[in-house]
Structure 1
Amino acid sequence: MNQDDVHEMREMMIAKQVARIIPELKLVDPADFIVFIHDEHFANISDIIDAATELHFYPHTVRFANGGNYQLDWNTPPTITLDMEFSNDGVTAYFHIIMSPEGFGIELDNVVFENPQDDEADTRQLIDALNNARLRKSANK
């Protein structure tokens, strides 16, 4: 499997887990995110992320990484991008949540492993770290 396939697979795994918090994030008016990003009120965004994740993940495993962006013009609805970090069991992933009226997406920047091995073992470690970060585990991982 080439590096692009590995990257895409890891991105999809993170997106599947993060999808749980998107409904809560979409309750926030996009204008609020825009103001918080523009004025660099990152603590406000961090509080929103913490509230959205608290029912799904253990504390501080999925958190806001103090950055974001927005696209806003007269002809299209806004798109909000939030810098995020996942950290658990020796795995740290840096990614962006991209939200628009059409839905959401995840853009993975990098995954860092405390004890890296090969792609297959590292991907397995990421899966385990994601599952171990969840408060409610399902029978099928």
Structure 2
Amino acid sequence: MTYLAEPHDGAYAAVLADSLRDVAADLRTIDPVDLVSFIRFGSFPAIEDLIQSSAELFFKHGTLISAWTACVDLAWDSLPLVTLGLEFRHPLVSVFFDLLLGARGDEVAVRAVLFEEPVADRAGALDRLARALAEAQLPRRAAGRSAALGLVPGVRPGLLGQ
């Protein structure tokens, strides 16, 4: 049976945002022009691949995935804002949320929090979410795409054989 928590409680977004800080930072290394064009042309497999590439640096496989929703706000009178729909999956809890990437920082907007077993109260629900996120994260190591590729900071990668 599934139990729904109140998604508009900012505490769920805060717990999630804290765990996603590295993923959001890695997604920001993507050229914004490329990301916007993928969204505008509905290239959801490409968006999913980018999300998976960033998520696999910090989370166990299959725990943080694309929800195949994305949009971009490119109004003339404001800074661009990219919204990526994501899903966190764990045997204890699933969370459907949007990750908003903007020039002024990143935000998390929770759409739904689903628990597989009943929770006694809000504090217990938040604790269960925090434990699930901690279990899903990979052990800490040098952060970012460069570390995963074995690149040394300050050293420009070249072509093999040069």
Q: TM-score range by the shorter chain?
A: 0.7 to 0.9
Equivalent AA in structure 2 for residue 55 of structure 1: L
CA distance in 1, matches of 2:62, 2:97: 15
Match of 2:68 among 52, 66, 70: 66
CA distance in 2, matches of 1:102, 1:29: 17
- 1:69-122, CA deviations, whole angstroms, 9 ceiling, x for partnerless residues? 110023333110000100112210011100111111111111000112223322
Q: Does 1:136 align with 2:126?
A: no
Number of the residue aligned with 1:121? 124
Identity fraction in percent:
27
Alignment of 1:54-133 (within 5 A): 54-119=56-121, 120-133=123-136
Kindly tell me the number of residue pairs found equivalent between the two proteins: 135
Please report the TM-score for the alignment, with normalisation by the length of structure 2. Answer: 0.77
Structure 2 spans left out of the alignment, 5+ residues: 141-162
> Residue 36 of structure 1 contacts residue 44 of structure 1 at CA under 8 Å; is this kept in 2?
yes
| Bigger Rg, structure 1 or 2 | 2
- What value does the CA root-mean-square deviation take over the aligned residues? 1.9
4+ residue runs over 3 A deviation: 3-6
Q: CA deviation at 1:5?
A: 10
Please report the TM-score for the alignment, with normalisation by the length of structure 1. Answer: 0.87
Q: Against the structure 1 CA distance between its residues 71 and 5, is the aligned structure 2 distance closer, same or farther, given a 3 Å change threshold?
A: closer
